[in-house]
Amino acid sequence: MLKTPAYAAASATSPLAPHTIERREPGPREVLIEILYCGVCHSDIHQARDEWGGSIFPMVPGHEIVGRVARVGAQVTGLQPGQHVGVGCFVDSCRTCPQCTAGEEQHCDFGMSGTYNSYERDANHRFDRSRPTYGGYSTHITVDQDYVLRIPDGLPLDRAAPLLCAGITTYSPLKRFGVTAGHRVAVVGLGGLGHMAVKLAVAMGAEVTVLSSSESKRGDALALGAHHFAATRDPATFETLAKSFDLIVDTVSAAHDYNAYLSLLKFNGAMVLLGIPEPSAVAAGALVMQRRTLTGSLIGGIRETQEMLDFCAAHGIASDIELIGIDQINEAYERMLRADVRYRFVIDIASLRDAA
């Protein structure tokens, strides 16, 4: 076992603090990764504060991991020490259910092994509830080779980290709805997911509108490549833009009125929920009258995540980040709750090694 410095939440009400975990030596099909950078996702806050229920403590969050292969097991193929790799939101799944065999492991019938706040698997690929998973706010992680992504050359490593969650979560629904030139896409909420949705939809050729709560992010939205911007605090926005969009990508992390946004869809348009706030009511009429679709999307499978990384490298896309030391993590959470992040915090894990 390898003693590994980390930052953990001891309970739903405690701030993150230094903690030590144990990582296993890589098994025959596993890879030991030295973590270089880890993005800070709003899901880290939801789970560290047990907002979705069932959180496992102590919790080491972090599922936007970029690092360097340190050691590989004897049967590992195609991954060598020194290579730059990524780990996203899950580290294992059952491997045999219809979703796993279709490359949609995030929807595993038996539940994915989340990178943290979940469990490792036993020899039969079922949860081993004696072994919780711990995420990327740590210096190392041991992962099965089938769940490791390759970071293409040319992507800056710190700015690539958020692609492992924010990137794939927005790429997947844009691809599923066939976004291409001529499509009118709205992105609701300009945070970590939202700013990636803008970059990716623009790269796919769409005409992109950012719908943000206040005017303050207008300049940034246009600089990110969006064609239009509207403030959702202004009620006129919902009149001016009624029936405007083919697709709405909703990344808002707090409860809001879905019906108001549905009214902005064209006939037959679709709204994809990515944010996971507290429940709020949906009016049937908002869907029925213009045959609209309301759906959701959860990250993406390993194959599609690699496709997204390669797409980003080919299009020169990476996240806009604020690099922080691990000791700034609690302040970063507070700032994210105030929607004050431009546009993703990324932890420089060197700060955790130095502190150890």
Q: Which residues bind Zn ion (CB under 5 A)?
A: 41, 43, 93-94, 97, 100, 108, 165
Which of ligand NAP, Zn ion, none does residue 86 bind to, with CB < 5 to 8 Å depending on kind? none
Which of Zn ion, ligand NAP, none does residue 100 bind to, with CB < 5 to 8 Å depending on kind? Zn ion
Residue 11: strand, helix, or coil: coil
Q: Are 39 and 346 in contact (CB under 8 A)?
A: yes
* Tokens read off for 36: 């270089």
Nearest residue to ligand NAP, by Cβ distance, number only:
191
Which of ligand NAP, Zn ion, none does residue 336 bind to, with CB < 5 to 8 Å depending on kind? ligand NAP
**Contact call for residue 200 and ligand NAP (CB under 6 A):** no
Beta bridge partners of 217: none
H or E element: which one contains 288? helix 284-288
Which of Zn ion, ligand NAP, none does residue 94 bind to, with CB < 5 to 8 Å depending on kind? Zn ion
Residues in 320-349 at the binding interface with ligand NAP, rule: CB under 6 A: 336, 339, 341
- In whole angstroms, how close is the CB of 168 to Zn ion at the nearest point? 9
Stretch that binds ligand NAP, among 11-19, 71-79, 237-245, 252-260 (CB under 6 A): 252-260
- In whole angstroms, how close is the CB of 32 to ligand NAP at the nearest point? 26
- In whole angstroms, how close is the CB of 63 to Zn ion at the nearest point? 5
- Burial of 189-221, coded b for 16+ CB within 10 Å and e otherwise, reads bbbbbbbbbbbbbbbbebbbbbbbbeeebbebb
H or E element: which one contains 48? helix 42-48
Q: Is 310 left (phi over 0), alpha (psi -120 to 50) or beta?
A: alpha
Residue 168: strand, helix, or coil: helix
Q: Are 85 and 71 in contact (CB under 8 A)?
A: no
DSSP character at residue 338 = T
| For ligand NAP, the closer CB: 9 or 21 | 9
Residues in 288-307 at the binding interface with ligand NAP, rule: CB under 6 A: 297-299
Q: Which residues bind ligand NAP (CB under 6 A)?
A: 41-43, 46, 165-166, 169, 189-194, 212-213, 217, 251-254, 256, 274-277, 297-299, 336, 339, 341
